[in-house]
Amino acid sequence: MPDRVIAVSGLKGGIGKSTLAMFIAFVWAVLRGKRVLYVDADPSSQTGWDWWKLARDRDTPLPFDIETWPHAQVGDMVADRTPGKYDVVVIDCGGDSDAILRSAVEVCTYALVVTTPNKADIRRLSATFASALKAAKDAGRTSEIDAAVVFTKVDNRRQAANKEMRRQIEAKLPMLQRELSLKPAVYADAMGTNVTSHADLEEAKELVEEMEAAA
């Protein structure tokens, strides 16, 4: 199997899962020179695939491969087709299929559950996290998988509210200290482009380093 299989999941659309998954893929490909596969397994929107295609059509291809595989055999696909070919696989699980998340967890080494620090977005966080842990347990892989909640779209003008939200989550669930800020000029404008700027990759780089430290 690839050294790292990172399953990115969340609760609903629009919270920044695909963007975070993309930036993790950029860090591994651009900054660490690894062979990366991005698997777009989200059945309800194909942000990863659209991003990849747009970049290719503009003659600035992304520095990693992509597969679209939006169904519950995504884990089998990764197990069958990626060994020897890729060092890192990032699976964008989308937000509304428990079956896809479970399948990704059967092969992943790291399960990231993405949320924003907004009340409306964290309501199903515990349930999603529990589902990922249960899938790991059912697959007999609990000891092989790290799992953590991660914040994205963090509005740094609301520091007190963000801190309180973090405190509430950390009382129940493991959480990465590193996060992605709400920065449309970096993250939203990146759609369809190949991100190589080290400044733009800085937050994602630190996130990856924290994931590595846990492993």
Of residues 20-79, those binding Mg ion (CB under 5 A) = 47
SS3 (DSSP) at 97: coil
Of residues 34-93, those binding ligand ADP (CB under 6 A) = 47
SS3 (DSSP) at 35: coil
Taking phi over 0 as left and psi of -120 to 50 as alpha, with beta for the rest, 179 belongs to beta
Q: How far is CA 61 from CA 22, 46, 141, 193, in A?
A: 13, 17, 35, 8
For the CB of residue 111, give the shortest distance to ligand ADP in the complex, in Å. 16
> What phi, psi does 6 have (nearest 5°)?
-105, 115
d(CA 102, CA 182): 29
Q: Which of 64, 82, 187, 195: binder of ligand ADP (CB under 6 A)?
A: 187
Residue 124 and residue 95 in contact, taking contact as beta carbons nearer than 8 Å: no
- Residue with smaller CB distance to ligand ADP, 50 or 87: 50
- Interface mask (CB under 6 A) for ligand ADP, residues 5-24, using x and -? -----x--xxxxxxx-----
For the CB of residue 10, give the shortest distance to ligand ADP in the complex, in Å. 6
Which of ligand ADP, Mg ion, none sits in contact with 152, Cβ below 5 to 8 A by type? Answer: ligand ADP
Q: Which of 6, 16, 18, 135: binder of Mg ion (CB under 5 A)?
A: 18
- Residue with smaller CB distance to ligand ADP, 69 or 187: 187
SS3 (DSSP) at 111: strand
Window contacting ligand ADP (CB under 6 A); options: 67-75, 96-104, 131-139, 177-185? 177-185
Write out the two tokens for 26: 């950029």
Query: What residues line the site for ligand ADP (CB under 6 A)?
Result: 10, 13-19, 47, 152-153, 180, 182-184, 187-188, 191
